[in-house]
Amino acid sequence: MPDVTVVGSANLDFVVSVDRLPAPGETVLGGDLVIAHGGKGANQALAASRAGASVAFIAKLGRDGHGDEIRRHLLASGLSLDAVLEDPAAPTGVAFIVVEAGGRNQIVVAPGSNLRLSRGDLEPFIFLLQGCRVLLTQLETPMETVAAALDQARRAHVVTILNPAPARPLPPGLYPLLDYVTPNETEATALSGIQVTGVPSAREAAWWFLERGCQGAIVTLGEAGAVLATRGGHWHCPAFPVDAVDSTAAGDAFNGVLAAGLAQGRPIEEALRWASAAGALACTRRGAQESIPDRSELEAFLASHPWQAPAQIR
């Protein structure tokens, strides 16, 4: 059985670097087009695998050239295709990404076959949902599929993580299925209605998730770190300072390594340390999956960067 099962999306990314992000209606000339591999599910599955976890990836691709390329890449990356399905009627998902010099980005996704991953598609793979240690999912596949995966994992007392990206309203019954929800500032604001601008408001938003039934919430704040809330209290976890060039997939690296750490039995504070290192390293490189570090890189980074223990906040 896998350490981590990931249910989610796989895309090809079309990436252009620009000096600055365009305003609405504005055309900005950029650099060369880079075609890379992405999709939040595939990114997070690869991050967990590179961190040393055994991973099962449940996804759906189109029967097209983009899908063939992703299949080859997943196999070359050490991920199994046993639970990667094929849809003959929908194209493989693609994402269009614009990245400015400082690392910020804008992303538009055409989900294609990702939105055809159905609840029924999960039936042959219930053993992967219930036999793993951690289930990790996101919101680039249908909500009913996400909910069904989380429900199956919860029945087997598997640790569940939802990265609620891209943000959209969640059914009330989903929150009690979650051990951890991991929104960034934008997602926490959209879901909770609380404007998250720093640690105090992130703490308030994190508590909002707990009030709705989540066992834990981690609100990520970029260079300001993250706020962890559990039934036992609230903590501010600092970020590792780095020179960021591209934040694409930094959140996915964080979530995948967080899942791997929890699956490997690390306490949440230690899993957060590894996850924060992965997110920081991903920001120092361009691309999505190309930017995700492996275990040896994480170990070297952590050995050379002191970590400030999370501070409890009230």
| Domains with residue ranges and CATH for the chain | 4-10+39-92+112-313 (3.40.1190.20)
Would you name the residues annotated as active-site residues? 252
Q: pLDDT by residue (tens digit) across 270-311?
A: 999 999 999 999 998 877 788 899 999 999 999 998 877 787
Q: For residue 204, name the pLDDT band (cuts at 50, 70, 90).
A: very high
Q: pLDDT by residue (tens digit) across 93-106?
A: 998 889 888 778 88
Global confidence as pTM: 0.93
Of residues 208, 229, 44, the one with CA closest to residue 134: 44
Q: Are 41 and 91 in contact (CB under 8 A)?
A: no
Q: At residue 218, does pLDDT exceed 90?
A: yes
Q: For residue 162, name the pLDDT band (cuts at 50, 70, 90).
A: very high
Q: Report DSSP letters for 94-112, one per residue.
A: EEEEEEETTS-EEEEEE-G
Query: Which residues lie across from 105 on neighbouring strands?
Result: 99
The residue behind tokens 């120092």 is: 284
